[in-house]
Amino acid sequence: MAEQLRLMAVHAHPDDESSKGAATMAKYAADGVQVLVATCTGGERGSVLNPKMDRPDVWDNIAEIRKAEMAAARAILGVDQAWLGYVDSGLPEGDPLPPLPDGCFALQDVQAAAGPLVRLIREFRPHVVLTYDENGGYPHPDHIMCHKISVVAFDGAADAEQYPGLGEPWQPLKLYYQHSFTRAKFRALHEGMVAAGLESPYEEMLNSWTDEGTDMGHRITTRVECADYFAVRDDALRAHATQVDPDGPWFRAPLDVQRKVWPTEDFELARSLVDGSLPETDLFAGVREAGRTV
C-alpha cells in the first residue's frame, strides 16, 4: 500500500501559517494528507497587534505566549508543527533602516541555516513544500530568509553529499510559493461587499495600490478550492491573539461573501519533478498520477 501524501509548509513566524495557506492545509489534513508546518523563528520580536493584549504581562512573556498560541492554532488546523529554532529578526523601521540584531535569523549564513530544515525534510519526507516567493510575500527580512533556506533545502535534502549526518536523502517533488495578497482578490472582496450592501474596508487600500511590482497575481498557477475551511482558518488566526485584532480588518469580509467571490487559496508552482499541466487545482497534481507517494 502506498504511503499517504505529505505536505510541508515553511513559515517565518508563528501566525504566518494561519494567515497564508491555512484553509488549504486544513483541507488537505481533513482529507488524510499528513501536514507539517516548519516554523523558522519563535516570533520573539513581533509586535502585539491586538490592543486588548498590549499589556506589560504579555510583553514580559511574549516568547512563551507565542508558543502557546502556535500550539492552539496547529490543533485547530489539524496539522503538526516543528520549530527550526531561529531567533526573530524583527521588522526594521525608519530611514535609514536600523541594523538587524546580532544572531537573528536573517543574518545567518543561508547554507548553514538550511541545515535544520534539511533534517526536517529528510525526517518527514514531504512530497510538496510550500514557502514564500523571493520577496517573502512582503519584505520582512525573516520572510525573505525563509524563502532562501526553503529553496536551498528543497535540493539539498536530496543530495547525499550535502548535509551529511542529517538523515537519509529525500527529494520533495514540488515546490510552491504562496500568493495570498493580490489586487484581483481584494478587488473581488471589495466589490462583493459593496454588492451585499456592506461597507468595504478595502477601497482605500486598492486606491493606494499603485506599485504593479507588488502584485504577484500574474504568477499564480494553482488555485485550491478550500472555502469550506475558511472558518477553520479564521479560528486558527484568532488563536494568535497577540498578533491579530479580532475586530480588525482580517475579519470584516463575511465568510459567505468570501466563499462566493474568492473560494480558493492561490499558489505558484516554482519547481516540479513530476509531469503535469497548468493551471492546477491540486498541490499534488502529478504526484498522485505518478503514484509517487512513497
Q: Which domains does the chain have, with CATH numbers?
A: 6-181+220-252+263-290 (3.40.50.10320)
Residue 292 has pLDDT above 70, yes or no: no
Going 128 to 133 to 137 to 138, the CA torsion angle's sign is: positive
- Average pLDDT (48-53) is 90
- Contact present, 28 and 282 (Cβ < 8 Å): no
Is 11 flagged in the annotation as binding? no
d(CA 62, CA 69): 10
Q: Tell me, what amino acid is at 169?
A: P
Predicted local distance difference test score (pLDDT) of residue 1: 32
Residue 2 has pLDDT above 60, yes or no: no
Query: Could you read off the pLDDT of 85-100 as tens digits, one per residue?
Result: 999 999 998 888 899 9
Is 13 flagged in the annotation as binding? yes
Phi-psi region of 47 (alpha: psi -120 to 50; beta: other; left: phi over 0): beta
Mean pLDDT over the full length of the chain: 94
C-alpha cell at 50: 491586538
d(CA 150, CA 178): 13
- Average pLDDT (276-289) is 95
Whether omega for the bond prior to residue 96 falls within 30 degrees of 0, making it cis, is: yes
d(CA 262, CA 13): 26
C-alpha cell at 114: 538550511
Q: Tell me, what amino acid is at 231?
A: A
Is 218 flagged in the annotation as binding? no
Predicted local distance difference test score (pLDDT) of residue 289: 82
Tell me the CA end-to-end span of the chain in Å, nearest whole number.
9
